[in-house]
Chains A and B, each alone.
Chain A
Amino acid sequence: KQEVTQIPAALSVPEGENLVLNCSFTDSAIYNLQWFRQDPGKGLTSLLLIQSSQREQTSGRLNASLDKSSGRSTLYIAASQPGDSATYLCAVLGGGFKTIFGAGTRLFVKA
């Protein structure tokens, strides 16, 4: 059974800092991994999707990497801003095309 873990559960950083969020999964037989952002009381916004054949994806200040063999993905946020404060979730699409979410990392960027 696929399990997805995100570390840390919460993170507080000063504005301008570069940071890394971690996501690990137990079954490496995945189709893709997706990173989402969720603001309080809102829905999820897709940030990046990495197909299983890819190693990384970039969008603006965000870079996501995928290492299937070790069951890990990282989301790198450069030059963090207060507007980046949100919960970041990773989701793995695995066997049976079933999506499993991690519990998320709650990020707070201090001005």
Chain B
Amino acid sequence: DAGVIQSPRHEVTEMGQEVTLRCKPISGHNSLFWYRQTMMRGLELLIYFNNNVPIDDSGMPEDRFSAKMPNASFSTLKIQPSEPRDSAVYFCASSLGQQETQYFGPGTRLLVL
């Protein structure tokens, strides 16, 4: 099993640019989570999907952030326009069900200049 796959692993962009982060969950998992980790705020849940449907996006910081899950094997997190305060590590995780063990990807380290 390949585990949760995230791309890119590192992203450096300039303020105002669009950023798209990608995630492939573990095959067969029907819950997918996007998290953001910073030194100041720790790990925060941004949004999670169950059976490809967004269930709770209350953690999305503002309208500049959007997430989609067009099918069971792919999800994107988009930031448009990006700002320096968006610099963080973004993690994707998946689980068999909403109450099951979450498996994390390696993360995308984003730096917005």
Contacts and interface: CB of A to CB of B under 8 A. Distances in A.
Is chain B found bound to chain A in the same assembly? yes
Interface string A6-34: 00000000000000000000000001101
Interface string B36-80: 000000111100101000011010000000000000000000000
B99 A51 contact: yes
Interface residues of A, number: 23
Interface of B: 33, 42-45, 48, 50, 55-56, 58, 91, 93, 98-107
Interface in A79-104: 89, 91, 93, 96-104
A46 to B, nearest CB: 5
Interface of A: 31-32, 34, 36, 42-46, 49, 51, 89, 91, 93, 96-104
A97 B55 contact: yes
B107 A93 contact: no
A27 to B, nearest CB: 15
